[in-house]
A and B are shown apart, each in its own frame.
Chain A
Amino acid sequence: NAGVMQNPRHLVRRRGQEARLRCSPMKGHSHVYWYRQLPEEGLKFMVYLQKENIIDESGMPKERFSAEFPKEGPSILRIQQVVRGDSAAYFCASSPNEETQYFGPGTRLLVL
């Protein structure tokens, strides 16, 4: 059973461009969570999704950020018009039951 997969592992964007981060949950997991992590800091919750539904987006910035988890395919975290402050590691986790979360390797976004 493959673990949570994220791609790309590293992403470089210039200010103003769009960043699309993908997360494929573990097989059988219908709950997906996105977190952001700055260097030497903890994980900051962004959004929790189930298939085709956003359950909790209380940690997501109101502008430029969006997330989806379609019926088919991976979950996508989209950041429009990126700024330098968006540079961080973005982790996705999946769960079968809203409890134990299994994390992917993360996408490291660098905005130049």
Chain B
Amino acid sequence: GESVGLHLPTLSVQEGDNSIINCAYSNSASDYFIWYKQESGKGPQFIIDIRSNMDKRQGQRVTVLLNKTVKHLSLQIAATQPGDSAVYFCAETNDMRFGAGTRLTVKP
């Protein structure tokens, strides 16, 4: 079946380093993707989105890359800060499916 999944369940980085969180999707018809951040005890928070007619989109300290050939999505966080510690989900909105998420831990 179609699915959205994450390659890595956990990621630990040093404060100030860059973080890369990966996501694979299998529905080739997917045309809109969103990254969410979920802090402990809170609901998911929209970070950045990208449509399938784009390869890259940048926000403040975050960049999303989309590779439609291999159906892969990544979220890059520059100069990771302790406040970035959370679980990150990618979502493919056509099917409203979320992966299990990647827990990012930032070490001071």
Contacts and interface: CB of A to CB of B under 8 A. Distances in A.
Interface of A: 4, 33, 35, 41-45, 48, 56, 91, 93, 98-106
Closest 9 CB pairs of A and B: A103-B43, A42-B100, A43-B98, A103-B44, A45-B96, A42-B98, A105-B43, A106-B43, A42-B101
The B contact surface, by secondary structure, is strand
Interface of B: 32, 34, 36, 42-46, 49, 89, 91, 93, 96-101
Contacts of A102: 46
Given A43-B89, A48-B96, A106-B42, 11 more contacts: A33-B96, A41-B100, A42-B89, A42-B101, A45-B98, A98-B93, A99-B32, A100-B49, A101-B34, A101-B93, A103-B45
A93 B45 CA distance: 10
Nearest to A92: B43
A79 to B, nearest CB: 19
A105 B42 contact: yes
Give the interface centre of A41, A42, A98, A105 by most chain B CB atoms within 10 Å: A42
A3 B46 CA distance: 12
Nearest to A103: B43
A99 B97 contact: no
Contact of B44 (A44, A56, A91, A99): A91
B78 to A, nearest CB: 23
17 contacts: A4-B43, A35-B98, A42-B100, A42-B101, A43-B44, A44-B98, A91-B44, A93-B44, A99-B49, A100-B93, A101-B34, A101-B46, A102-B46, A103-B43, A104-B43, A105-B42, A105-B43
